[in-house]
Amino acid sequence: MGREFARAALDAGHAVVATGRDTDAVAEAVGESENLLVAELDVTKLDDAESAAQAAVDRFGRIDVLVNNAGISYKGFFEEMTTEEIKHQLEVNFFGQLYVTRAVLPVMRDQRSGHIIAISSGAGLSGFGFSSAYAASKHALEGWMDALHDEVAPVGIDTTIVNPGWFRTTLTSAESMPFTEPAIDDYDERRAEQMEWWNEQGGQQPNDPARLAEALVEIAGEDDPPRRFIAGEDAIELAEETIDRLQNQIDAYRELSTSMAYDA
């Protein structure tokens, strides 16, 4: 996705700072442009985030839009996952976005303008088995972004949470989607089914990252961008199912739920 985001922004005439741990790989993926700066960034390192933000200002004078996109997706049942795996999941998907945003916010505050776009997931709308740590990282991200909006909107900064559906990216690669080691016999059958399913998904996803990139360029150019953008027909279906499930649960226990006040 990051490659397509950078290309779409460049094609639209914008200046772009494309970042990654391997700057040679980033440069090769994005291509050459006078409006492009490639900067080294490991999102788990605050110093890297601050250096990348400073490089952006040094080169282009300002930062108008931040797209937080780095991610990893550990697969496995919670009981089998190590604490280290769960911490790393949160370090990349949640704290990584915090670090980069913390580095960029002073620039946007001084400008009294800016737009922070956080790439979440369908897992930020609804958790699902074999991805509990991933869902935790995306739910944490969304809670933080909701609250951040209220903190930064008064100084002219917009925020948008993006919930992509199933896009054809490299998220299903071994590097981006590591499996936890089997440890509990009770999960053997379901684990095998899950691993087979996930291993078959690469190249089968229905949505095109280039089209999402074009949509984000459009949204970033709006005077009043959405606080949330659901990307893909499958993501809309999931969002609507989540809304329906929540409404059903509210209705089922409305009488009990509304009986909590002190007696007059």
Report d(CA 121, CA 235) in Å as an integer.
Answer: 9
Q: Work out the burial of residue 98: count CB atoms within 10 Å of its CB; fewer than 13 is exposed, 13-18 middle, 19 or more buried.
A: middle
Report d(CA 39, CA 57) in Å as an integer.
Answer: 12
Note the helical H segments in the chain: 2-11, 23-30, 46-60, 83-90, 96-111, 132-152, 188-199, 209-220, 233-252, 254-257
Closest C-alpha among 173, 185, 174 to residue 79 = 185
Closest C-alpha among 130, 137, 135, 126 to residue 230 = 126
Report d(CA 55, CA 49) in Å as an integer.
Answer: 10
CB 168 within 8 A of CB 236: no
Q: Which residues are catalytic?
A: 134
The tokens for 68 are 């937080």
CB 64 within 8 A of CB 157: no
